[in-house]
């Protein structure tokens, strides 16, 4: 139960929140749990359901009482997808009409959508998940010198995090171009 809203929090969101509260990066948590980074991302985004043993391991790692995650209702989420013919990026059930290469419009719309989907406040940082980056790399103008500032402003993230996202997307973009 979310103390501020009185509503149940989906398991994936609760897992991500618990991990962040103890200060683990996704890389550190995945390594401690003995799972891949992609698997952890899938569990936190609601694409996959962790088994009882993994829930127990996460509870121990994050210092959360046993059973807290397992009792939460599961809210399945669909992965982000892009319909190039329509120019629509689907995140969850939300359609974002994309002006490809217009980084300001895309980042602003993604930030607003993810804040709603993840029940974040307007001032909360929005972290893009590793599973979302290959798709987004196709939509952004990665050569835009202002992309870092746009991400910092709309996603409310640090310069280091913004630059890291851009670098990851450049890698994805380069690997899919070949």
H helical segments located in 46-155:
52-62, 103-117, 133-139, 147-155
The count of other CB atoms within 10 Å of the CB of residue 78 is 12
Q: pLDDT tens for residues 15-49?
A: 888 888 888 999 999 999 999 988 888 788 776 77
Q: Retrieve residue 2's tokens.
A: 């979310």
CA dist., res. 48 & res. 36, Å (int)? 13
Q: pLDDT tens for residues 86-106?
A: 999 988 778 899 988 899 999
> What is the pTM for the complete model shown?
0.58
Domain 1-76: give its CATH code: 1.10.260.40
Rounded to an integer, the average pLDDT of 119-124 is 78
Higher pLDDT, 9 or 102: 102
The torsion region of residue 92 among left (phi > 0), alpha (psi -120 to 50) and beta comes to: left
* CB-based contacts of 107, cutoff 8 Å, min separation 6: 140, 150, 151, 154, 155
């Amino acid at each position: 139960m979310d103390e501020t809203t009185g509503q149940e929090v989906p398991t994936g969101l609760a897992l991500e929140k618990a991990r962040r509260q103890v200060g683990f990066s996704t890389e550190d948590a995945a390594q401690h749990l003995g799972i891949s980074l992609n698997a952890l991302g899938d569990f936190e985004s609601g694409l996959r359901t962790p088994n009882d043993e993994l829930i127990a391991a996460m509870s121990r790692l994050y210092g959360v009482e046993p059973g807290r995650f397992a009792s939460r209702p599961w809210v399945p989420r669909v992965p982000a997808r892009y319909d190039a013919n329509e120019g629509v990026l689907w995140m969850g059930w939300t359609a974002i009409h994309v002006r490809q290469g217009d980084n300001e419009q895309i980042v602003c719309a993604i930030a607003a959508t993810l804040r709603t989907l993840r029940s974040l406040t307007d001032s909360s940082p929005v972290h893009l998940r590793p599973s979302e980056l290959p798709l987004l790399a196709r939509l952004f103008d990665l050569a835009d010198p202002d992309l870092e500032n746009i991400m910092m402003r709309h996603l409310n993230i640090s310069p280091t995090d913004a630059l890291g996202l851009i670098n990851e997307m450049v890698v994805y973009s380069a690997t899919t171009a070949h």
